[in-house]
Structures are given as structure tokens and as C-alpha cells.
Chains A and B, each alone.
Chain A
Amino acid sequence: MKLKTLVSTLASVLLIGSQAAYADKWGDQFPHIAATGDIPGMCSYEEMSKKDYSGRTLTINTHAIPVMGEPTALHAEQFEKLTGAKVEVTHTPAGDLYSKAMVPFQAGQAPYDIVFGFSNFINEWKRYLAPVPQKYVDQMTDVTASHIAIASWGDTMYQYPVDGDRHYLKYRKDVIDNPEMKAKYKADTGNDLRVPQTWKEYAEMAAYFNGWDWDGDGELEYGSAEVMKKDDLMYAAFYSRSAAYSKNPSTPGGFFFDLETMKPLINNPGFVEALTDWVEAVSYVPPGGINFGLGDEINSFGGGQTLFSFSWDDAFVAAMQDDSPIKNQVGAAQLPGATKVWNRETNSWDEGFNQAPFFVWGWAVGVADKSKNQDVAFDYLCFFANGANHQADIGIGRFGVNPFMEADFEAEVWTDIGWDAQVAQEYVDTLADMEKSTNRVFPLRVPGTFQFNSALATGTAKALAGQLSPQEALDEVAAEWEAILERVGADNVRDAYAIGVAMEDNEL
């Protein structure tokens, strides 16, 4: 018996030792994964090194550096070294990713084997993309169900999951949890300083902490950094602000449209309330904040300029990097809620706390159906998202690679890269709670998505600039949405929208 135990222990040690040896080998050769070494899997460094794609050229259209563009280029370089393939990477601004792929798609060409974009492109891109082969889908055992659903249309996966996105609240812990600040805030306003539970609280605190040097660094600080620049993803910020007022769990059947009648809901009092809040926010963002795109928001909050921010993970991860002035001084929480939510069936407000996480689209990537290098392309994507690369990528804010695997929701993943245990726990709890929520909002993924979002961006931008009142602006958006529905065909939109509604209503 003892001999048997000894042999099995010896075998285990040898097995672990051999894996560690691989980890050292690949970690030494590729500093990016030095912390973890290679992690075994179908697309690990070890497995990729066994492929020979010499003489094959892979073309990729990705985002500009750094967000997603930098990891694409880095993994392309690694892939070249491992497989002998030549990888040509083109970098394109976010606003042009759609058209740069769509123009050749519609012309029946495939200048790029791999195209990066956003997950809400799926409806219009899917007819030009190759489905992800089953062998790759089968090995995605750790990808969350939400992100499998987002990358798929019906039962077919068209987008390879490389990123997981959601909007949540980021705040400065050194202020919100500071007893002196709590006392000062209480004395001045009569209210408690805490992680804002509602958008109204958010506004009160942001306004209070706007325009003075509350962290003593000699610079003025401001209330909130938000994506408010037209055509730079501002509509996503608006949906985040609207969800609490408009996503009523007791009225399933659509957030953007009433699925039954396809009447746009965008100008109902819930959305108008959110836009009214947002117009007020112009007074507590940094100077020029009305022109902040995503990059500005990341730099502003990540650089310690504001008390709050809400959008993708990038600003939070950037704030937690070693070179950040506010490392370990930030906290994450669910998006603020509201004390009332619009009920479109009774045409009245339902009183009571409501909160709805927004699973905003994230980076998505597909392989062109007309590509002659689909085997290389899918191997590249599989390699991009392999365990070792993913672990390294999610810790670098500017990479734009955010949690979408179950393992990412373990606090140790983050404490291992230097986060305080409390910050890490709060972060993973926030993400995990969103996954568990049954009152979620998913992005619009219908024919004409760009037209709907562009119309919304124009309307809300007019309200932020003071050109129209919130109600006028959203009435204009609703009229434009009606016109788009007429052009696209309400039934076409309904068919596609039904899938998103089923996800929101927890039927998928």
C-alpha cells in the first residue's frame, strides 16, 4: 500500500513537474506570459508550436492601438513565431471597423481573413462570417453562458469570444470610504456619503465633489467622467443610465421596442428621466467632458481626475495598474438604480428600487466566410484567447480584454497581479452579480442597429448641447426610429429583436 502511494505521488510530481517545465520554457521565450507560463489546452503555446503554417499569410483588421489593437498585434507576432505563418495586421479606428469590413463583404471580397468589431455587429455580419467550428466551441467550457449567447445567433456561434463587456460603476474608495469625507459630506448636505444606490445620489455626490481639490494633489478634481461624445459610443452610456428607469422586470417583452407592436419605447418617461439626469451631468464632468470619448473617460478616471465613472472595465483596470496614481483606491459596484421604474402597461411609474445591469456589447471577432485561411484564422483566435494569453491580457487595462471566463470571477486572479484583496473581491462580486441578475439589458442587435444607435446619439447629443429639451430630443429619436423601422421592415427587426428580448427575459 505504501509502495503504491509512493509511486502515485512520484507520478504526480513528475506530471506537475513536466507542466512546470513547459511553463518555464514558454514563459521564458514569451515574457507576456511569464507570470503563468503556458497553460495546457487545445490552443496553448505548446500545441500551437506543433503546427506548421509556413508560407500561409493571415490578414487581420483590428482596432487601433492600444485597445484590442495591441493584443491583436502582440498575439500575431507570437503566432508567427510559433507556427511560421505570416500575419498582417491592419489597425482601424473604432468608428470605421464596421464599414471597413462591410464594404468588401458586400462586394463579395475577403481582404481580411479576420475582422474585429463589436458584438452588436453580429446581425449584419453573420451572413458574411464562417461559423466557429464545433471543435473550438467544445473547448470553450469556461466561457460564461452570457458570452456564449452574445457570440452566437440562435444555435450557431459566429463570433469568437475574446472579450466580455458590461457597464458598471467605478468610484474612488479613498473618498467614498473616507470617514473625514463622510463627516464633511453629512455636515454639508445632510446625506450619507456611500456608494451611490441611485442615479440621483450619483448626481448629488458628483456635483458636491466637482471642481475642487479633494485628494490634495494640487489639481482640481471633478464629479464624473462619462462617454458623451457623439458617435463615440455615447449611446451605450445613455442605455446604462436608462436601464434602471426603463427596464421593468414586471413588463417583459422589450426594452428598446415593445416586441408585440414594435413601437419604439425610447421616448417614454423612463428614458426621458434618464436623459434629464444626463443633461444635468454636463455640470459635473471635467471641462470639455461633453466631448469625452471612451479613451478620454479611461484617462480621466484612470488618471484620478474624477470621483465616478461608469462604462467598460478598461477605466477600472487602468486605474489598478502599477503606473496609476490611484491604484487600489478605486471600487466597483453595480450601476446605480432608481427609486421608480416606468411601467409601459399601466403608463405610470412603479415605485420601489429598481436596478438593471447593462451587458453592453464588447469586442468581437469573426472569420470571413470567403477566407481561404479559415483553419489558420480559427487557430489564431483560439491562440489569442488561450488560458495564458487571457490571464495576461485581462490585467492590462489598455488592452481592452475583459473577463468572460468563469475563472475570471475568482479574486485570486486579480490579487495575483497586485490588487488589494478587498478591491479584487468587490470587483469580481460586481461582475458575478451582474451575471446572476434576472433584470439584465442586452445591446440592440437587429438589422439597422447602426441607424438606431446613430439616431439616438444625435438626439441625446442635441440634448446635452442644449439644442433640444430631453423630451424633444427623444421624441425626435422615436420618430427617426419609426422611419428606420419602416425602411428596414418592422417584421425583420422584430424577428431579430425577439432573440435579445428572450435573453433579457431569461428565456435563453
Chain B
Amino acid sequence: MNFKHKFVFLLPGLIVLIGILIFPIIFTVRLSLSGWNSFNPELDFVGIKNYIRLFTDDPRFWESFFRLSFLAVTTVFLQYIIGFALAHMVWKDIKFKRFFRVLFLIPMMTTPVIMTVIWRTFFHESLGPLNDFLSIFGVQPQWLSSPGLAKISIIIVEVWQWTSFMFLLMLAGLLSLPKEPFLAAAIDGASPFKKFMYVTFPLMAPISIGAIIIRLIEASKIMDTVFVLTSGGPGTATETSSFYIFIKGLREFQMGYAATMSFTYLIIMIISLTIIAKVLTKVLMKE
């Protein structure tokens, strides 16, 4: 088969790739160099004006980015701990194993927006059931009105929704582990704790890294939870990058500037996730 024939076979895939991946990115870059907005809907050329504005005159973007980093790292860390623990639990021979495996997957199968509406009702400070219950003990936390608690509320919802995904990956990893190292550890008389620390955890490291990176990519796009639960409030206390970009792009219709933020955000995420993956590999797979 000569080169031309190979190219013909590759062409359909290449066209799809260009159409759905390369073109949107190129268009975003082009849009980011324009002043497209509601009163000037044109793909004009303003050079790097939008980038200068972003880097010199928009602290709100950077605040929302660092807030997002905090939320993403915290939620993924908690999801990893809880998801791993649950997977470890149902990996063993326990009663109703199948029931628990299905039960732990349910949150992931629900629609995020609908579930967040239900959580919002749950957290409602004057009409919600949570504060109704807590009032028995004389406390009425301001779940969505206090900047600190609003962040915690988002973390709770995100952890509830997505721990299932981590659970699924970790359970799949545990089920694929070879039996021999565990038999060897048992023969050596290793305690359950040592077995976990020196056998299970190291063997699960590659899967853990993959699961954490996948979840970090997803968590770095937190939008629906923030949109429904707090609208970024109180004030800007829970505003994340994606929510801020949404506001600038689809609320204020500053499409050119929103594209600038999106592209910058993409570059930052590619760099930071690459670094995180390398660090995790170094830390978790040192043996």
C-alpha cells in the first residue's frame, strides 16, 4: 500500500478531528483577538488587547481561578479518599455486596442540575429540611449565605455527586489486581493495615493517578453546581473560572473577551495538569 492510499483511509478521521476539535480551538483563538460583543457583533481584529486586559486589569478572573483550584483539589481529594474506601469495602466479601455496589453508583447516575436543585432546597436556610432539623439543636447554619459555608456546600454536593465515579474506577482497579502479592503478604503475616500500605496502595498507584487526573479535569469545569446552588454568591465567594467566563460570554455577551479567557484558561489547565500528573507519578510511584 503506497502513501496515498494510507492518506485516503485516514482522511475521514482527520476531517472529523479537524471539524470537532481543531476548528473550535482555532476559532476561539481568532475570536479572542476580536472585540465581538452585543453591540459590535463582528470578527474584527483588536490584536492582543483582550489579553492585556485579562493580565493587567481583571483580578476577578484570577480570584475565580484560585477559588476554582481550591474547590477542585479539595473535592477530588475527598472523592478519592471516600471512593477508595468504599471500593475497598465492597471489594472484600461482605454481605449485600452487589446491593452496595449499585447503591454507591446512584449519585453519578442522577442528573447534576436536578440534584443540585434538590440540594439547594435541602440547604435552604428558612424553608429547607436541614436547618429545620438542626434547629432542634439550636443551630441555623447559613449554608448558602455565608462565604465560607457556601464553599463547603458546593464541596458537599460535588463530593456526593462524583465520589461514585471515583468509586467505580477504584473498584475496577482493585478487581484487576493480581492475587499473588496478597498471598505473599498473607504468608508473611502482614497485618491488614500493612497489606494496604505496602501492597494494595502501591499496586493501585497507576489507577489512582489516572482517576485523580480524570476527576481534576472534570472538577476544573465546575459550573452547573455553582450556577444552580449559589450563582457564584454570596458576592463573588463561590465564583469559579467557568462560571465567570459564562457570565462574560453569555450574560454580558463579551464574546471576544470570553474567548480570551477560555483560551488562557485552557493553556493554564494543560500546563498545571501536566505538572500535577508528573508530581503524582513521582510521589505515588516512587517504588
Q: Which A positions have Cβ atoms within 8 angstroms of B?
A: 95-96, 98-99, 102, 106, 124, 222, 229-232, 286-291, 305, 447-448, 450-451, 454, 458, 461-468, 483, 487-488, 492
Contacts and interface: CB of A to CB of B under 8 A. Distances in A.
A229 B124 CA distance: 13
A119 B253 CA distance: 17
Nearest to B127: A288
A303 to B, nearest CB: 9
Nearest to B249: A99
Contacts of A231: 231-232, 247, 251
Interface stretch (B35-43, B179-187, B189-197): B35-43
Contacts of B57: 483
Contacts of B125: 286-288, 291
A229 B60 CA distance: 18
A99 B250 contact: yes
B79 interface: no
A454 B251 contact: yes
B209 to A, nearest CB: 37
A492 B39 contact: yes
Nearest to B36: A106
Given A95-B251, A454-B252, A124 B38 contact: yes
19 contacts: A96-B250, A99-B251, A102-B38, A231-B231, A287-B126, A288-B125, A290-B233, A305-B126, A447-B39, A450-B38, A451-B254, A454-B247, A454-B252, A458-B60, A464-B234, A466-B235, A483-B57, A487-B35, A487-B37
B133 to A, nearest CB: 14
A229 B253 contact: no
A305 B254 CA distance: 39
Of the four ranges (under 10, 10 to 19, 20 to 34, 35 or more), the interface on chain B belongs to: 20 to 34
Contacts of A289: 126, 145
B251 A461 contact: no
A106 B254 CA distance: 13
A230 B38 contact: no
A450 B234 contact: no
Nearest to A459: B235
Contacts of A487: 35, 37
Contacts of B230: 291
A388 B279 CA distance: 70
Contacts of A458: 60, 235-236
Contact of B234 (A96, A291, A483): A291
A288 B232 contact: no
**Among B37, B143, B230: residue with most chain A CB under 10 A:** B37
Nearest to A473: B235
Given A124-B39, A487-B35, A450 B235 contact: no
B39 A448 contact: yes
Contacts of B60: 458
Interface in B204-245: 230-237
B147 interface: yes
A321 B199 CA distance: 68
Contact of A465 (B38, B237, B247): B237
Q: Is the interface of A mostly helix, strand, loop or mixed?
A: helix
Nearest to B144: A291
Nearest to B243: A231
Contact of A286 (B126, B237, B253): B126
A469 to B, nearest CB: 12
Given A230-B231, A454-B247, A467-B237, A448 B147 contact: no
Contact of B233 (A287, A448, A465): A465
B82 to A, nearest CB: 28
Contacts of A488: 37, 39
Nearest to B257: A487
B142 interface: yes
B126 A232 contact: no
A497 to B, nearest CB: 13
A288 B126 contact: yes
A65 B229 CA distance: 20
A290 B235 CA distance: 9
Given A232-B231, A465-B237, A448 B145 contact: no
Contacts of B143: 288
B140 interface: yes
B235 A464 contact: yes
B131 interface: yes
Interface string B26-52: 000000000101110100000000000
Given A102-B253, A230-B232, A288 B38 contact: no
B39 A465 contact: no
Q: Which 7 A-B pairs have the closest CB atoms?
A: A288-B125, A465-B235, A465-B234, A287-B125, A447-B39, A106-B41, A462-B235
Contacts of A99: 250-251, 253
Given A231-B232, A464-B234, A483-B57, A287 B131 contact: yes
A462 B60 CA distance: 12
Nearest to A300: B126
A490 B125 CA distance: 43
A361 B247 CA distance: 21
A423 to B, nearest CB: 27
Contacts of B236: 230, 458, 461-462, 465, 467
B234 A290 contact: yes
**Among A96, A99, A462, A468: residue with most chain B CB under 10 A:** A99
A450 B236 CA distance: 18
Contacts of B252: 450-451, 454
A96 B232 CA distance: 16
Nearest to A230: B233
A48 B156 CA distance: 54
Given A287-B140, A290-B234, A465-B233, A450 B131 contact: no
A323 B131 CA distance: 27
A291 B39 contact: no
Contact of A290 (B35, B145, B254): B145
A195 to B, nearest CB: 26
A222 B125 CA distance: 13
Nearest to B57: A483
Contacts of A286: 125-126
Given A450-B38, A483-B57, A492-B39, A98 B253 contact: yes
A225 to B, nearest CB: 10
Contact of A288 (B142, B237, B251): B142
Nearest to A232: B231
A450 B39 contact: no
A166 B57 CA distance: 36
A393 B230 CA distance: 32
Interface in B142-165: 142-145, 147
B253 A467 contact: no
A231 B126 CA distance: 21
A496 to B, nearest CB: 9
A483 B248 CA distance: 14
Contacts of A466: 147, 235
A489 to B, nearest CB: 9
A450 B140 CA distance: 36
A106 B253 CA distance: 11
B96 to A, nearest CB: 39
B124 A288 contact: yes
A209 B244 CA distance: 38
